[in-house]
Chains A and B, each alone.
Chain A
């Protein structure tokens, strides 16, 4: 049982970490808390299927061979995010973080209703990679293949992202911009390039979450990004706003807490798992308002 729990915690936490990274990347470079991230996820989910109001979805892009499908969905996620930046957030570049946040909330409502108009409101059955549910014996546990793939993919993405941030020019510029955007620009770092890059990455990460969600649940629902976005928000706050390693660590931690609550809460309390989780987070923040992994120098700018 305990080994199974470890896999549950890792795969759930991994997905939370990927979603949290999507939030933290954008917050880091432009202090935007992106409330449309959940709809980015939902949009990538629906990109897999042919527009119709039917209860069982007809796969469009989703019917392509996996490598092509994954590339295409990531590109769609990235493209949507870059487009959102260009049309909504670039005109608001100098606005307050509060205005940015409210605008992203409005964008989310817009995207959600666009999906509703195009696909209808009922959740749809989607069978994407149905074979991945098969259990695989790992030591003493039976682990679904999908869970192993998710854990592997998350590890690969985190490693790839870390490498990109550490070794590439755009990665260096993003990290510099996240620390002090004004100074980075004074050194010739192009704001538009860095911000578009962060949005593209964030959108691609949203698409990763979308693929995992569809494969896990077999459902496409316009609301499906919401819960995970909320967890991602919480992870970025707990991780110390804008800290990428903090967001990842907090995402993993919240996944673990969630898996533990699911395993050890009495059955009648399980429906309230998320409520317990959010309550737990508020308690954590009460003890450390600046987040668990806030950088040492974190203080309000005067």
Chain B
């Protein structure tokens, strides 16, 4: 059974169609990149999966269970976690408090403490500044915090929206390194929105190309680099 399945999913804002009847599945442990130009519907897609955006039509399933129509917190409690665009750190809360916000539904108190220790081990800077307000961290550190915060909910499936946005290339390398290591460690399923398909190709995994709310291509990220599918997705076939 697939980890995540979208069936005929549509999202509309008023008359504007953001997602036009999308269907695809993601296998357990898979790493899926979603790429495409601005306005392709990438963020709407993540929003519809996480419950933040209401679907006009169709459904989303995780482990065969229907998610559509549920509140975001219920979906989160079923093992889906989100690293949102722009990170959305709770700037006024301390680093440690940020990490603990999502642990309310976990009954395994001991494991929460272990996870916290693991986060501080893998990101010593977060440990050092655990009692400092999160707003004082640098952009790269905030991205690490956002990822760690999502992990603290003990998710099975993690959605990551534009992790490289606004970060220096070197920091982006580090972010991806960490993400992949964590994925291997935990057997996570990852869905990552990544504007740069070159980056996706380098990291490796499956890639969906979107344009105008539709999927225009689906395949191995490394394979895309060689083809002109990308150019086509960005500049259209009318050229």
Contact = CB atoms under 8 A, between A and B. Distances in A.
Interface of A: 169, 172-173, 175-176, 179-180, 182-191, 295, 297
B72 A185 contact: yes
24 contacts: A172-B93, A172-B97, A172-B100, A176-B90, A176-B101, A179-B90, A179-B91, A180-B88, A182-B88, A183-B88, A184-B90, A184-B101, A185-B71, A186-B52, A186-B72, A187-B82, A187-B102, A188-B76, A188-B104, A188-B105, A188-B153, A189-B102, A190-B73, A297-B91
A175 B134 CA distance: 13
A279 to B, nearest CB: 32
The interface residues of chain A, by DSSP majority, are classed as: helix
B77 interface: yes
A175 B92 CA distance: 9
Given A187-B153, A191-B73, A182 B90 contact: no
Contact of B92 (A173, A185, A189, A295): A295
B88 A189 contact: no
A301 to B, nearest CB: 11
B36 interface: no
B72 A173 contact: no
B90 A183 contact: yes
Contacts, number: 69
A272 to B, nearest CB: 39
Contacts of B97: 172, 175-176
A189 B91 CA distance: 17
B69 interface: no
B149 interface: yes
A184 B89 CA distance: 10
A186 B101 contact: no
A180 B72 contact: no
B135 interface: yes
B81 interface: yes
B93 A185 contact: no
Closest CB pairs A-B (n = 3): A187-B102, A188-B76, A185-B72
B41 interface: no
B84 interface: yes
B35 interface: no
Interface string B204-239: 000000000000000000000000000000000000
Contacts of B77: 188
